[in-house]
Amino acid sequence: MINTHNLSFQYDTGSLISFPDIKCESGDMMLILGQSGAGKTTLLHLLSGLIRAKSGTVTIADQDLSKLSDKQLDHFRGQHIGVIFQKFHFIKSLNVLENLTIAQKLAGKPIDENRCKELLENLQIGHKVHNNINELSQGETQRVAIARALVNNPAVILADEPTSALDDANCQAVLDLLSTQAKQSGAALVIVTHDNRLKDMIDNKITIS
């Protein structure tokens, strides 16, 4: 489902970073560890097609992302990839439910409010469905971001520090939800983090530095 080969990225400063090859099949979960500045978020952005590699290839669901135009990448991402960002990028004038349904609309999917509400209930924030985003705590906002990434049943789930704002109990709950979603839908799940609590929870892991 996810394959990379000889992947590298060059920053505007001119510095070049190379990444180990990644292989994550449907239904599998992979943890990518590294301290701040190691390039974890850059790698996630490469996997999602938000930025383009200096060299090497990223293949998602048998599609080489380098072969797609920017417009095609946007469509492919909406159809196949769910991303949980560190910065949430919500539309603050909309409530929680509206932020989820607009993600469905932008991906060309039918609006399914029941799917949205089910995810929010599973994340223990179903009672916040009609709240404005600005009314949520950081942890609640992070869980809405997770729901948004899952709402379109993506083939690939990419999570950037999804547990960083959560206590131990909610950390485990979120990991369980992501793992269950990946297995149920046959999605490949990649988590990038410096959260050491996850080390013992996921067997398949690599460290970048």
Q: What is the pLDDT of residue 167?
A: 84
Q: Are 148 and 119 in contact (CB under 8 A)?
A: no
Q: How many domains does the chain have?
A: 1
Containing structural domain, residue 177: 2-207
* pLDDT tens sequence across 154-175: 989 999 988 877 788 888 888 8
Q: What is the pLDDT of residue 165?
A: 72
Q: Which residues in the chain belong to E strands, given as ranges?
A: 2-10, 16-18, 23-24, 29-33, 55-60, 63-64, 81-84, 156-160, 188-193, 205-207
> Residue 11: is it exposed, middle or buried by C-beta count within 10 angstroms (0-12/13-18/19+)?
exposed
In angstroms, the CA 143 to CA 138 distance is 9
* pLDDT tens sequence across 141-151: 888 988 999 89
Query: What are 10's two structure tokens?
Result: 């060059």
In angstroms, the CA 6 to CA 8 distance is 7
Query: With a cut of 50, which residues of the chain have pLDDT below it?
Result: none
| CATH number for the domain that contains residue 147 | 3.40.50.300
Q: What is the pLDDT of residue 54?
A: 93
Q: Rounded to an integer, what is the distance from CA 151 to the centroid of its chain?
A: 12
